[in-house]
Amino acid sequence: MKEIDALLRDKVRMLGNALGHTIRNDLGETTLEQIETIRKQAKKARAGDAAERDKLLALLKGLSDDNLVPVVRGFNQFLNLANLAEQQHDISWRKESIDADQADTMFRDLIPRLAEAGISGTELTEKVASANVELVLTAHPTEVTRRTLIQKYDEVSHLLQARDDLRDEHPTLPAIEEKIARLIDEIWHTDEIRKVRPTAVDEAKWGFAVIENSLWYAIPAMLRSMNQDLISHDAPPLALDAVPIRFSSWMGGDRDGNPNVTSTVTEEVLYLARWMAADLYLRDIEVLGSQLSMYAATSEFKEKYPGHEPYRDCLHGLRTRLEQTREWAQANARGQHCEIEPLLDDEELIAPLQACYDSLVGCGMQSIADGELQDTLRRAACFGLPLVRLDVRQESTRHSAVLSELCEFYGWGNYLEWSEDKKQEFLLKELASQRPLIPEFWEPSEEVAEVLATTRVLAQPIGQGVTCYIISMASEPSDILSVALLLQASGVRHKLPVVPLFETLSDLEQSGPRMEKLWQVPWYRDYSGSRQQVMIGYSDSSKDAGQLAAVWAQYQAQETLSRVAREQGYTLRLFHGRGGTVGRGGGPAQRAILAQPPGSVSGGLRVTEQGEMIRFKFGLPEIAERNLKVYISAVLEANLLPPTAPNKEWRDTMSELASSGVTSYRAMVRENPDFVSYFRAATPEQELGKLSLGSRPARRRSGGGIETLRAIPWIFAWTQIRLMLPAWLGADTALSDQIDRGKLATLRTMYSEWPFFRTYIDMLEMVLSKADGEVAGYYEALLVEPDMQPLGHVLRERLKNVTARVLQVKEQSELLEDNHALQQSIQVRDPYTDPLHYLQAELLFRERQSADVISTEVEKALMVTMAGIAAGMRNTG
């Protein structure tokens, strides 16, 4: 196996030694030796010797309650530090190898390929500017690590980069390593588990922090880098107002199944975003005021600002308006009335900055104009005054409930019992009506009042910071028309896009015909301007039908929607609701985009970035810059160098795989009477609520089976025991059926020539490389009643089977043969994650067997194992 990069190994060793020093100083040599003994024994046990594994288990079982927390914290923190070292090393100019996907040079390498296809010069720059990528930051409860610790980890990363930048004998190196060691001390002495579940506003503030600390710097840096590449290939630079990529957020706007997101929360978050934007621009203005001390200016500029330092005079006026805007936003966020007139139009922000830029250029000071001032103009074009635009999401039945109560109040009948045609007729009539729909003295139910309170927030000037209204579980045109009516009735005068979300297998299959019906409604065509965004859900479709059937349904839905949109004269933009894990549509962005149906990203791309993946991909400016370029490059490649469409044989084979997969998946998950009981016994699903992961409840409603559980804890629980079931269940049977029928050659051809199928198999392989049937079996032996254990044996045999089938398709003898970096990463982590798994199973056993209240130490140790395993797996849900 290829050796790990020596410099990375050095970083991991240095961080590990610093952590060991901290543990020794805090808890003594004995505790440190105990942790080290367990680690060494776990490494021996990984070799597959049952006797060595028994020795490891004996060591772990022998831990007293007092020793539990120090041991699990030690392993947890090492895994976090290893992740940090890998992440920082990935962007280091001193690393010895380049990633397989060569993300650093992806855009640069794409330009010559586009030139060969006849796209160069001005056309190339125009294509880049119009890439139309939008990343939607969401705070689903997958971020295990506290924000306090994230900030300390970020500081360690910056110090590691400083350490890289200096030669080995540089005199300041010891001081840098001393600072790193001090930070690790701080990390060790900080509680890694939240005591209080974060609020929706807390989540939004975390999202703002990602922009403040990383994306604010990454955007202008990325555009500078792309301009250098364009200019070097004889293409003009991007215009100052070019925005190939934007950002939106669900934090504070996603109320689907989350009673903690109210109209008051949404309003507060919108004002806080304005406050944060004003504050960030004020910081930029402070820097510019220091820099732009020049006296020479164009006559037009001098006429408006006749002073000796005209640029500072111009910026002083803008600073005053931004200070007023910040004061206004702060007061309103607190619910206080404020008479100050704020900046609300982006042009009011951009115009004075652009005037400074044009005057500097006009006076021969282009290099000065292209410094910090250009960066601020780039930020203003990307973030504007809202900073990050908010999506509002609500479940369709909540809107039907409003109309039902209104119809009952007016005596118009039972809206819920009407046919679809009658609903549409009623909605269109009310949309055309000049009279108010909502009566002045009506007293609706609490839930209905909350929906209307939200739409009234959107009618305020602050509502301009909302980019769209998403309807989950949308099934008919009336679901979209009802939202349009409620927005209009609440005073929303701009045509806010209404976005249906298709999630379940049946919804995906019916998405094309349903949108076709909507697009044929003349009123809606006028309202939408023949432009439509449709959201494709990945999480619930996978939980509903299994990953294999879901990905094929998603692919076909995109094909159908794209075709119908073209036929109806609509410009379609697909919004992909992906999660961090493969079981929720996750995976490398470039591979995922290029695996989409040809033509399906022609209207641009909108995609969610969820939970801990935001931190991994955008937490540091250098990493964010690279990942943003990956998205833009992949969209350009998908549109301008599209992959070959699948032939009939491949499509037929994929349909057979999906059909077999969904049948097999549902037979286990829905029809096996022991499955739900096994799942709850073998995994820490019931205990996950103690982690205080996010503001949203883990269940849509109390009681019930798997269908009531959100996709995130569903996947989190299986990941904790290393069975990774949601990503592969059903695929085992489907692949076996095809191979047993003599179609292995077809599958290999599909893998070789069809990006969609290759991406699916590679993602499946990646998940399987993290699975471990032996670890899962240990949980079962401790936690599951004997009469249900045969089910676990079946699942582990199926795991072995799907692994063998994937290796057959890929013509490999072991997993990850062509991905040494991930293979090495997993093997480095195993000696640290294994003890956490075995300890977690033991702690779950103790907790469930105890008739009394378990000790605080056991409770905390259990929660830390969950966080540590999540760090070891590099994702949660």
Catalytic annotation, residues: 140, 543
- b/e code 576-596 from CB counts within 10 Å (16+ = b): bbbbbbbbbbbbbbbbbbbbb
DSSP state letters, 98-151: --TT-GGGHHHHHHHHHHHTT--HHHHHHHHHT--EEEEEE--TT--S-HHHHH
**Residue type, position 580, single letter:** G
Residues contacting 871, CB < 8 A, separation 6+: 76, 79, 80, 83, 144, 145
| 272, containing H or E segment | helix 263-291
CB 171 within 8 A of CB 240: no
∠ Cα 537 508 672 (to 5°): 85
Burial class (CB in 10 A: 0-12, 13-18, 19+), 440: exposed
| 759, containing H or E segment | helix 755-770
**Mapped to the 3 state alphabet, what secondary structure does 765-789 carry?**
HHHHHHCCHHHHHHHHHHHCCHHHH
Could you give the CA distance from residue 61 to residue 603 in angstroms, rounded to a whole number?
57
Q: Helices in 133-232 by DSSP H: which ranges?
A: 147-165, 173-188, 200-210, 216-232
Could you give the CA distance from residue 477 to residue 242 in angstroms, rounded to a whole number?
35
Residue pointed to by tokens 């019930």? 704
**Nearest one of 594, 573, 679 to 642, comparing CA atoms:** 594
Show the tokens assigned to 733: 């049977």
CB 80 within 8 A of CB 19: no
Q: Is residue 817 helix, strand or coil?
A: coil
CB 219 within 8 A of CB 378: yes
Torsion of CA 631, 637, 638, 642, to 10 degrees: -170
Could you give the CA distance from residue 734 to residue 718 in angstroms, rounded to a whole number?
21
Could you give the CA distance from residue 270 to residue 746 in angstroms, rounded to a whole number?
52
Could you give the CA distance from residue 375 to residue 381 in angstroms, rounded to a whole number?
10
* Strand spans (E) along 674-768: none
Could you give the CA distance from residue 679 to residue 875 in angstroms, rounded to a whole number?
20
**Mapped to the 3 state alphabet, what secondary structure does 432-450 carry?**
HCCCCCCCCCCCCCHHHHH
- Cα–Cα distances (Å) from 519 to 106, 340, 422, 480, 499, in that order, read 38, 43, 17, 11, 13
